[in-house]
Each structure stands twice: as structure tokens, then as C-alpha cells.
Amino acid sequence: MKLTNSIRLLYAPVQPSVKQATSQVAYREFLPDAGLRNFIYCYWELNTTEMLDAPYIYRVVADGCMDIFFELDNPQENYIMGFSKNYTEFPIGKSFHYIGVRFLPAMLPHLFRMDAAEFSNRVEPLRDVLPGISAFITNTFQPLQSTHSLNVVLDQYFLNHLSKATITTDNRLYNAIHIILQKRGVLNIETELDTGISPRQLRRLFEFYIGDSAKTFSKIVRFQNILHAKPSVQSLRQNKLFFDSGYYDQAHFIKEFKSFYGITPAQAFPE
């Protein structure tokens, strides 16, 4: 099994804040073509079903991924969101229809030979980073385009790029990512991430392909695995999940969780 395959098998990033959207806001995720699934986690759609009374605040929790997204009604407005070590909030108006492509960790830089560290914790116009994709989006998409049509067109574009791209896999990086995902982010980076290269080389690889250090990435993986566990506030108190997940104490857990999510565990999970 290729090491790039193991990322998708071991990691399923979630965006719970948008999945809990109101009846006036819909969020859906769609699988890409099977030939793209080692690189692209999903295509996503976020849109209003009716005009809102106030601008919608779109909160993105930290997930270790990079996204490309655009407004379908105005496709020349297309952006790239880099790796983020904190939650991010966008006020996006009272009516919108956004389409996005969520790449698995390391895969957008892997496909397009770009330095992820240059875009960490930032949202940039896509034309300034990947002008070819920006032009494709601007010239291809139009309002009221069906979801199926969107998926087909995106699949065709990325499959075509993949067929022409020269992909070189650095097993040192993917071995390290595999270990972090397998251990659910709960590990000592200095002693348990031995992939045959120096800490300095490993940091350089993570910054280029992920956008931050292996330590920061492992914290986000740990956070995402807590989201997947869907604990109740009561079970968090009783089972001390934060200890099992490598947190020193409850205060440490709450502080880091809020940094990644934007709200406390008590607000995020049911009683």
C-alpha cells in the first residue's frame, strides 16, 4: 500500500460547525473521482436556502488541510486557505453559494509544487498563488450550475492535471505523517517520530508540505480525533478523555480545544 493511501484511510477531517448549520444554510460534502481520493478529501458546498436576516459567520475549525473555494454566483472570487493552527471565522453575507475543494494534508503542495508555509494561517486570492486553477474556475463555472455538473468538471480538471504532473513521493515525510495519524496525534515528536532524518530536515519537510511543524500538525490530529469521538460534556468529566488524549489537565484541554474550534468543549458537545 502506498503511504499516500494511508492518509485517507487513517484521517477523516471534519468541519462540525458548518454541519450544524441552520435550516436556512445547507452544507454538503461530495467524494471526488476514485482516482483523486488519495489527494482530495472532498468537494463541498455551502449555500443559503433563503435570504438570512443577518450576515452568516462561517467558522472553520483547524483540520490540517488546505482548501480552494469560490462563490458560484461570482466565480472570479476564488481563494486558497492554507493550513491553520487556529479556527477562522468569515462573515460571508446574507445570501451565498460557495463551492470548495478540501485537499488531504500535504496533498495540494504535493500536486502543485507550492510551499505551504507561505500561506499558513491565511486566506489569499487564488490568482496570486495558483493562477491556472483560478483562471479555470473563473472561466468555467456559472450560477445555478448543478452539483453533479460541478463535481464532473472538477474531477476532469484535477484528473487531467494528475495525468501530466510529475509526482515524487518523499517517504520520509509520509512515514512521519503515517505515524502521527496512527497514534491519533498522541506521541512524543522527538522520540517517537524516527524516520531516519534530522529534526531540522523533518521540520523543513513539514513546513513545506503541511504548512507548520510536526508538533502543531499532531495537535490538530489529536483535536480532530476528539471531534470524531463525539463525547458528551458528562463523559468528558467522568472518563477524563483529555488525559487519554495526551493533555496535561482539563485547563490545558479546554484552552487548546477553544483555540482550534472557537468555542469550549461544553459549548461544542451535548450534555
1: pLDDT confidence band, cut at 50, 70 and 90?
Answer: very low
Query: Strand 57-60 relative to strand 74-81: parallel, antiparallel, unpaired?
Result: unpaired
Residues 151 and 57 in one domain: yes
Q: Assess whether 113 and 146 both reside in one domain.
A: yes
Mean pLDDT of 182-191: 90
Looking at the fold, whether 135 and 180 belong to one and the same domain comes out as: no
- Answer yes or no: is pLDDT of 241 > 70: no
Q: Alpha-carbon distance 151 to 154, whole Å?
A: 5
Mean pLDDT on 223-228: 91
Same domain, 151 and 257: no
Domain co-membership, 30 together with 158? yes
Which pLDDT does position 74 carry in this prediction? 94
Percent of the chain's residues with pLDDT above 70: 93
Write the CATH number for 223.
1.10.10.60
pLDDT attached to residue 22: 66
Residue 90 has pLDDT above 70, yes or no: yes
Domain check: are 160 and 175 in the same one? no
For CA atoms 239, 241, 246, 248, the dihedral sign is negative
Residues paired with residue 71 on neighbouring β-strands, in sequence order:
74, 98
Q: How far is CA 99 from the centre of its chain?
A: 14
Query: What's the pLDDT score for residue 144?
Result: 80
Q: Which residue has the higher pLDDT, 201 or 169?
A: 201
Question: Which pLDDT score is estimated for 234?
Answer: 73
**Shared-domain flag, residues 116 and 158:** yes
C-alpha cell at 235: 463523559
In which domain, by residue range, is 55 found? 3-164
Q: Looking at 2-11, 33-42, 51-60, 155-164, which range is the least confident one?
A: 2-11
Are 153 and 218 in a shared domain? no
Out of 104, 132, 164, pick the residue that ends a domain: 164
State whether 147 and 198 are in the same domain: no
| Cα–chain center distance at 215 | 17
Of 32-46, 91-105, 142-156, 166-180, which range is least confident?
Answer: 166-180
Torsion sign across C-alpha atoms 17, 209, 186, 3 = positive
Domain match, 113 and 144 both: yes
Say whether both 115 and 152 belong to one domain. Answer: yes
Flag whether pLDDT at 3 surpasses 80: no
Give residue 97's identity as a one-letter amino acid code: H
Choose the final residue of a domain: 132, 164, 196: 164
Same domain, 86 and 196: no
Task: Give which of 129, 128, 125, 75 is closest to 99, Cα–Cα.
Answer: 75
Backbone dihedral angles phi then psi of residue 81, each to the nearest 5 degrees: -115, 120
Domain boundary among 164, 189, 213: 164
Q: What is the DSSP string of the chain?
A: --HHHHHHHH-----HHHHT--TTEEEEEE---GGGTTTEEEEEEEEESS--SS--EEEE---S-EEEEEETTEEEEEEEE---SS-EEEE--SS-EEEEEEEPTTHHHHHHT--GGGGTT-EEEGGGT-HHHHHHHHHH--TT--HHHHHHHHHHHHHHHHHH------HHHHHHHHHHHHTTT-S-HHHH--SSS-HHHHHHHHHHHTSS-HHHHHHHHHHHHHHHH---HHHHHHH-HHHHTT-SSHHHHHHHHHHHHSS-HHHHS--
Number of domains making up the chain: 2
**Residue 114 dihedral angles phi and psi, to the nearest 5°:** -120, 155
Map grid coordinates 483523486 to a residue: 36
Mind listing the pLDDT tens digit for each residue in 103-159?
Answer: 999 999 999 999 999 999 999 999 999 999 999 999 999 888 888 899 999 999 999
**pTM attached to this predicted model:** 0.92
